[in-house]
Structure 1
Amino acid sequence: MSADPSPRGEPAGTSITDADPRPHVVVLGAGFAGLAAVRALRGAPVRTTLVDRHSYSTFQPLLYQVATGALNPGDITYGARGFAAHTGASFRKGEVETVDPETRTITLDVGPDLHYDYLVIANGVTTNYFGVPGAAENAYPIYTRAEALAVRDRMTGYLERIAATGERRGASVVVVGGGATGVEMAGTLAELRNSVLPDRYPELDPSEVNVVLVEMTDKILPPFAPKLREYASEQLRARGVELRLETAVQEVKPGSVVLADGSEIEAQMTIWATGVAAHDEVGKWGLRQGRGGRIVVGGDLRVPEHPEILVAGDVGVIEDDPLPQLAQPALQTGQHAGRTIRRLVAGQPTERFRYKDKGTMATIGRGSAIADIAHGPKLTGVLAWLIWMFVHIFALLGNRNRILVSLGLTFRYLAQRRGVMVVGDPEDRAPSRRPA
């Protein structure tokens, strides 16, 4: 890889942005990739500014636990400003409106423009509805904190209405997508139906509550080994989840899901857990995009046409080596982006990114999970579940969050029938489509 003494050809260590002689690095996004990049730049001879539309970072792998009432949103969020201060960076809260690579200027919806010498784009992706009619208006994604709360409020609101009115109709839920999020959501909902509803909502017959998982391919959890997929399918069916494989969704209506074969499933709530794409705004930044709107980068994560711009996490794609859109690739690309900037500032050549696959995990429910450990065993059952618990709790930011999540998950899984479900303000409304 090449070495650039500075992004505009000035001597290394100078800045074009203001009187501060250090190069200015702007990192867009306080997700896994963005925080990893900021952490990698700690102590470097640069000024770093972290930008996010929210003042917090969300631990996305546990959003479904917020959506199903085990955790409060504050349990899995961490202050972005505090993180920035701890790593020697500054923080700007704002939504990015424009990025001009020619003038190296970022316009936010609030406050003055930002000028950068190096830019790390790590603002993640959003839900992809694949053009399915009614999906954006009627389905509930769980990709952000606000969306998880909308799912929780919808579910709580419907159950409370049944309790108040004596309505005898069930509360069928359709989960679209057989990836980790869809499987974890369906398994958790089925367990709540089996263990919590009889005590909390005696007005509702649990047998009338159907949980249906719809997947357009012939298998769930495609990245996993066949025996792990089979175990997950068996565990879902044992909990009463109906699997509809090789089934595409044709339309999502307010109270039902229409399948490609013309059949229709009643659904008081449809959860959309399949597919992601870059935010629409990214397409206006003048950068080359690939499938799903992901920004195309070279092997060192730099944009070939604008080598002072690096892309990390789900929003970027290495042209000749696409990575899975998971937490580990996001963390590792964020770290590499920060290290690459350190090398550029020092006048050193960049290095190609090498992904270290550590494996992947998914939980189906209480005492049931699968773990595909790279270069190691393929685990199922209680051991895989305990590893899943440990890894997720350890990965959280802040001891407070680790303690609260440990307690919340302990109550959910070890004292499930008596565990207290976190509830919010019951609402029966269409979900907001604005990214949160």
Structure 2
Amino acid sequence: MSQHAAQENHRPRVVVLGGGFGGMAAVKHLRNADVDVLLIDRRSYTTFQPLLYQVATGGLNPGDVTFALRAFTSRYDNADFLRATVTGVDTTEQQVELEGLDPVPYDFLVVSVGVTANFFGIEGAQENARPIYTRQDAITVRDRIFTSIENAAQARSGKRETSVVVVGGGPTGVEMAGALAELRNGAVPVAFRTLGIDQVHIVLVEMLDHVLSPFAPNLQEYAARELRERGVDVRLGTSVQQVTPDAVVVKRPDGEQETIPSVMTVWATGITAGPVVGSWGLPTGKGGAIEVQPDLSVKGLPNVFAAGDVAGAGLPQVAQPAIQGGKHAAQQIKHLLAGEPTTKFSYFDKGTMATIGRSDAVVQLPVGVKLRGSIGWLSWLGLHLIELMGGRNRVAAMVNLATRYYSWPRSVNVVVGDPAE
């Protein structure tokens, strides 16, 4: 037992930073431990990031993919929640420093604060492109896209065309481009009768010569082909040179530069640890990630653990490594409390998937099983509905997606947004 627990005669306190997949997994798997758990996040809710692109394209309400963290911790008798912004970690005094609040002491610490977009120093990208990592990001993208289509339909500023550029051919970029193509192909002819679908352009820019790098080559080719059949202008082997408020300058495979008009540039490539993490006094390495030992403890700090993308463990940057990492960190804390040695973290790959559009997705499982088309889409849909937090969210998302599926495009079922400034 540490000095805090001994001096104050209370159960050991485990502080968990970050209410994402990893942080919640740690809290959940400490529910039966003889500890007090405090979850800290600067937002009062967690966001199911894999479905944020559905919010950004009007398929789901923001509330469908968010869940109150206080409601989450209320499920466990030994857990509580604090909404606060972390400003530092004092590993000598073993306390977390908070903005405007007293420091919070800890006996064990789990850091799972996620990451942010990496703009790779590309001129204008951070100022003019928008990632989709938060609820507010998705709402901003949604409102700007719908406003641009509305403006094109009304020929405001004398323009009857609009274009959205998605940068990055990973799962997020492919899913975003596919959903936008579905929106363009289905909603525009029904709701915007003065606007042809050929006047709404969806461009996907990928620096590599294929999309969906984690997938097998045949699934990569299938995804690119399906996107093109849906009218997406897929630009492979194309790198972004500059992003302006109304265009993206790219370098084509032939070495020539091209300027692509863009009312909304969605940034779906590259992540990095938030710069604030580097100021917390924890050892960091490549990409600002926290350096960890094989058991996920932070180097030189055996009672501090890191899980998820913020931990420099070299794992895929998806939900499962964060969930498994958070669970493993909780298990190591139990080992230490019992006076047992910690164990090495071993990631179990459960597969990966990406949806391309209505009734179409690709799924790759570690046992060599590959699915595509409608059966892949049903697998994707079922998993995502199960993984959503809260029964209300599952029902709301299922109703919204089912209504859109069965009524589309006979009726346009999109979530209403506000005009973008």
Give the TM-score of the pair, scaled to structure 1: 0.92
Q: Give the corresponding residue for 1:368.
A: 360
Aligned residue among 367, 371, 395 for 1:379? 371
1:169 aligns with 2:169: no
1:232 aligns with 2:227: no
Three-state SS of the structure 1 residue aligned to 2:291 is strand
Give the C-alpha shift of residue 163 in structure 1.
4.0
1:357 aligns with 2:352: no
Q: Give the corresponding residue for 2:112.
A: 122
Letter in 1 for 2:137: E
Aligned residue among 412, 426, 436 for 2:419? 426
Aligned residue among 117, 120, 140 for 1:150? 140
Farther off after superposition, 84-93 or 59-68? 84-93
Q: Contact between 1:214 and 1:244, CA under 8 Å: does it hold in 2?
A: yes
Farther off after superposition, 107-116 or 78-87? 107-116
Alignment of 1:296-311 (within 5 A): 296-311=291-306
Aligned residue among 62, 67, 89 for 1:73? 62
The separation in 1 between residues aligned to 2:118 and 2:305, in whole angstroms, is: 24
Three-state SS of the structure 1 residue aligned to 2:161 is coil
Q: Contact between 2:56 and 2:138, CA under 8 Å: does it hold in 1?
A: yes
Q: Give the corresponding residue for 2:197.
A: 206
Q: Give the corresponding residue for 1:268.
A: 263
Give the C-alpha shift of residue 419 in structure 1.
4.0
Q: Give the corresponding residue for 1:433.
A: none
Q: Contact between 2:87 and 2:280, CA under 8 Å: does it hold in 1?
A: no
Q: Give the corresponding residue for 1:324.
A: 316
Give the C-alpha shift of residue 115 in structure 1.
0.8
Greater relative contact order, per chain length (Cα 8 Å cut-off, separation 6+) = 1
Farther off after superposition, 275-284 or 203-212? 203-212
Q: Give the corresponding residue for 1:99.
A: 89
Letter in 2 for 1:375: V
Q: Give the corresponding residue for 1:86.
A: 75
Give the C-alpha shift of residue 20 in structure 1.
4.7
Three-state SS of the structure 2 residue aligned to 1:348 is coil
The separation in 2 between residues aligned to 1:220 and 1:164, in whole angstroms, is: 35
Aligned residue among 94, 98, 107 for 1:108? 98
Q: Contact between 1:162 and 1:203, CA under 8 Å: does it hold in 2?
A: no
The separation in 2 between residues aligned to 1:19 and 1:308, in whole angstroms, is: 18
Aligned residue among 214, 233, 247 for 1:242? 233
The separation in 2 between residues aligned to 1:390 and 1:73, in whole angstroms, is: 20
Q: Contact between 1:411 and 1:419, CA under 8 Å: does it hold in 2?
A: no
Q: Give the corresponding residue for 1:29.
A: 18
Q: Contact between 1:290 and 1:317, CA under 8 Å: does it hold in 2?
A: yes
Q: Deviations over 1:125-180 (max 9, x none)?
A: 01111111101111111111110000011112222333445544311111000000
Give the C-alpha shift of residue 85 in structure 1.
1.4
1:259 aligns with 2:250: yes
The separation in 1 between residues aligned to 2:359 and 2:63, in whole angstroms, is: 25
Letter in 2 for 1:220: V
Three-state SS of the structure 2 residue aligned to 1:222 is coil
Give the C-alpha shift of residue 87 in structure 1.
1.9
The separation in 1 between residues aligned to 2:180 and 2:260, in whole angstroms, is: 17
Three-state SS of the structure 2 residue aligned to 1:119 is strand
Q: Deviations over 1:410-432 (max 9, x none)?
A: 1223322114100221113xxxx
Number of residues of Structure 1 aligned to a counterpart in Structure 2: 414
Q: Deviations over 1:264-296 (max 9, x none)?
A: 111111110001110111111222222211111
The separation in 2 between residues aligned to 1:263 and 1:44, in whole angstroms, is: 58
Q: Deviations over 1:24-83 (max 9, x none)?
A: 110000000000000010021111000001111100000000000010110011110011
The separation in 2 between residues aligned to 1:370 and 1:101, in whole angstroms, is: 44
Q: Deviations over 1:335-384 (max 9, x none)?
A: 11111111111111111111111100000001110000111410110000
Aligned residue among 366, 386, 393 for 1:394? 386
Q: Give the corresponding residue for 1:431.
A: none
Identity, % of aligned positions: 50
Three-state SS of the structure 2 residue aligned to 1:263 is strand
The separation in 2 between residues aligned to 1:143 and 1:201, in whole angstroms, is: 30
The separation in 1 between residues aligned to 2:306 and 2:92, in whole angstroms, is: 17
Aligned residue among 402, 406, 421 for 1:410? 402
- Segments of 5+ residues of structure 1 without an aligned counterpart are 1-5, 429-436
The separation in 2 between residues aligned to 1:56 and 1:299, in whole angstroms, is: 30
Q: Give the corresponding residue for 1:432.
A: none
The separation in 2 between residues aligned to 1:163 and 1:227, in whole angstroms, is: 38
The separation in 2 between residues aligned to 1:218 and 1:158, in whole angstroms, is: 30
The separation in 2 between residues aligned to 1:159 and 1:259, in whole angstroms, is: 23
Letter in 1 for 2:373: G
Letter in 1 for 2:329: A
The separation in 2 between residues aligned to 1:298 and 1:413, in whole angstroms, is: 46
Aligned residue among 207, 210, 215 for 1:219? 210
Q: Contact between 2:153 and 2:160, CA under 8 Å: does it hold in 1?
A: no
Q: Contact between 1:156 and 1:423, CA under 8 Å: does it hold in 2?
A: no
Give the C-alpha shift of residue 203 in structure 1.
2.7
- Segments of 5+ residues of structure 2 without an aligned counterpart are none
CA RMSD of aligned residues (A): 1.4
The separation in 2 between residues aligned to 1:271 and 1:304, in whole angstroms, is: 36
